[in-house]
């Protein structure tokens, strides 16, 4: 059997699809228990030793997250292998978020209030309950970091505040670090580190608040391609 250039193209697309889908699903699965731990106290878990300033900063972060209603801007994602992708994000709390990756990556991740939907190229969209994903941390109507016991570290640097969170149950090895600009306290990036120490970083840029994103941005149909194309 002879292989044509189109065969190689199809194989290349399948391989690229598999790599992209693996990265997206790993990010969702790897952070899911972390997010649930953030929103649900774990019986018997021991809290990290936090000082009064640490607790005050956690309260500030909680208040900031709960104050967000509308946010949009660009993002830059750096994978564990150094690969870089970018795109736009649209946030409308509670419940709604859209990450739209720029070409050549044909991928969109949407939270519609009930589901997290991953749609790539011509493939059927995959759906996951929003409550079982890390996006619930940012999109829940009532975020309360103080009642969870998995704050690993609060670190203050010139112009930055870092809050590192982990799952003390051990079910989700690794950690999640939220990075905020100071003194105005604005979410700037987050870093996910898995059990092997591999990191994925998502940095936000050109952030605008107070702009209500259109409802259509949070709807994904299987016949649609990322970017709204059919």
How many C-beta atoms lie closer than 10 Å to residue 116's C-beta?
A: 24
Q: Is the pLDDT of residue 156 over 90?
A: yes
Q: How confident is the model at residue 38 (pLDDT cuts 50, 70, 90)?
A: very low
Q: How confident is the model at residue 86 (pLDDT cuts 50, 70, 90)?
A: very high
The Cα 65–Cα 78 span in angstroms is 24
Q: CB neighbours of 230 closer than 8 A, spacing ≥ 6?
A: 223, 224
Residue 41: predicted pLDDT: 40
Give the tokens for residue 160.
Answer: 């930055």
What is the rounded average pLDDT of the residues 131-148?
68
Lowest-confidence region among 12-26, 114-128, 151-165: 12-26
Q: Is the pLDDT of residue 40 over 80?
A: no
Residue 221: predicted pLDDT: 76
Residue 57: predicted pLDDT: 94
Residue 35: predicted pLDDT: 42
Phi-psi region of 210 (alpha: psi -120 to 50; beta: other; left: phi over 0): left
Q: Which of the following CATH numbers is that of domain 5-41+51-218: 2.40.30.10, 2.50.20.10, 3.40.47.10, 1.10.3720.10?
A: 2.50.20.10
pTM for the whole structure = 0.70
pLDDT tens profile 62-72: 888 888 888 89
The Cα 129–Cα 132 span in angstroms is 6
Q: Is the pLDDT of residue 44 over 60?
A: no
Output b/e per residue, 144-162; b: 16+ Cβ within 10 A. Answer: ebeebbbbbebeeeeeebb
Number of residues written out for the chain:
230
How many C-beta atoms lie closer than 10 Å to residue 192's C-beta?
A: 20
Question: What are the CB-based long-range contacts (under 8 Å, 24+) for 215-219?
Answer: 217/90, 217/98, 217/110, 218/90, 218/92, 218/96, 218/97, 218/98, 218/110, 218/111, 218/112, 218/113, 219/110, 219/112
Domain ranges in the chain? Answer: 5-41+51-218
Q: Is the pLDDT of residue 157 over 90?
A: yes
Residue 10: predicted pLDDT: 42
The Cα 116–Cα 110 span in angstroms is 6
Residue 222: predicted pLDDT: 64
Q: Is the pLDDT of residue 58 over 50?
A: yes
Q: Is the pLDDT of residue 74 over 90?
A: yes
């Amino acid at each position: 059997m002879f292989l044509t250039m189109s065969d190689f193209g199809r194989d290349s697309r399948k391989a690229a699809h598999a790599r992209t889908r693996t990265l997206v699903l790993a990010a969702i699965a790897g952070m899911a228990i972390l997010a649930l731990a953030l929103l649900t106290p774990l019986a018997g878990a021991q809290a990290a030793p936090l000082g009064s300033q640490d607790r005050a900063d956690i309260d500030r972060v909680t208040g900031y997250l709960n104050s967000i209603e509308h946010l949009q801007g660009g993002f830059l994602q750096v994978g564990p292998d150094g690969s870089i992708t970018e795109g736009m994000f649209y946030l409308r709390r509670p419940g709604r978020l859209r990450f739209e990756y720029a070409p050549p990556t044909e991928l969109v991740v949407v939270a519609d209030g009930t589901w997290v939907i991953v749609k790539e190229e011509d493939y059927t969209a995959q759906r996951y309950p929003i409550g079982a994903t890390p996006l619930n941390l940012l999109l829940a109507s009532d975020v309360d970091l103080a009642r969870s016991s998995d704050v690993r570290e609060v670190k203050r640097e010139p112009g930055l505040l870092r809050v590192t969170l982990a799952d003390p149950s051990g079910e989700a090895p690794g950690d999640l670090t939220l990075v905020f600009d100071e003194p105005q306290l604005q979410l700037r990036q987050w870093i996910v580190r898995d059990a092997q120490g591999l990191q994925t970083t998502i940095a936000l840029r050109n952030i605008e608040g107070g702009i209500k994103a259109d409802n259509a941005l949070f709807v994904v149909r299987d016949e649609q391609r990322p970017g709204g194309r059919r």
